[in-house]
């Protein structure tokens, strides 16, 4: 299994240490099925893409609870009842994959396309946490401050 080194990202970002730590913890997981990618699609947008060939939408369950995203896949037995499989090269075993989400990250949506499950995530900071412009005064007291000074 390949282990990714996120240390260069720690040096170039401020305030995202927790996000990258969680991604790093997920990639060092010993579970390798099903394979997935995590990509940044915008300034505050991310996408998890998971290879789920052979699974239909009805075989997949996605749940977001608190700071955990859980993706479960389980094939229904009815789908293979009428067939005799001579060789199984496409894995279709049940799986459960969990991702820890950083604060203010929410799941925006999911769709299945060409055997890939795409889950879109958005990081939405509350207004109180967004940067705000601070006006710089010119150093002179306002008229109200002058009138209120004791004589």
Contact in structure between 9 and 20 (CB atoms under 8 Å): yes
The pLDDT of residue 119 is above 90: yes
Backbone angles phi, psi at 24, to 5 degrees: -65, -40
H/E stretch holding 23 reads helix 17-27
From the list 142, 147, 98, 103, the residue with the least C-alpha distance to 119 is 98
Taken in order of first residue, the domains within the chain and their CATH numbers are 34-127 (2.60.40.790)
pLDDT of residue 28: 47
The per-residue pLDDT of the chain, averaged, comes to 77
* Alpha-carbon span 72 to 50, nearest angstrom: 11
Residue 143 pLDDT grade (very low, low, confident, very high; cuts 50, 70, 90): low
pLDDT of residue 128: 75
Mean pLDDT of the region 76-96: 77
pLDDT of residue 13: 43
């Amino acid at each position: 299994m390949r282990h990714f080194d996120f240390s260069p990202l720690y040096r170039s970002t401020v305030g995202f240490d927790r996000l990258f730590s969680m991604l790093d913890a997920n990639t060092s997981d010993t579970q390798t099925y099903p394979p997935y990618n995590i990509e940044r699609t915008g300034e505050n947008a991310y996408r998890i893409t998971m290879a789920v060939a052979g699974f239909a939408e009805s075989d997949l369950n996605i749940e977001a609870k608190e700071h955990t995203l859980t993706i479960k896949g389980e094939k229904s037995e009815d789908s293979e009842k009428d067939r005799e499989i001579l060789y199984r090269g496409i894995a279709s075993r049940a799986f459960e994959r969990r991702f820890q989400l950083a604060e203010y990250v929410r799941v925006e949506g999911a769709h299945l396309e060409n055997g890939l499950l795409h889950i879109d995530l958005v990081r939405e900071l509350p207004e109180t946490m967004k940067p705000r412009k601070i006006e710089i005064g010119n150093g002179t007291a306002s008229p109200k401050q002058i009138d209120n000074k004791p004589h």
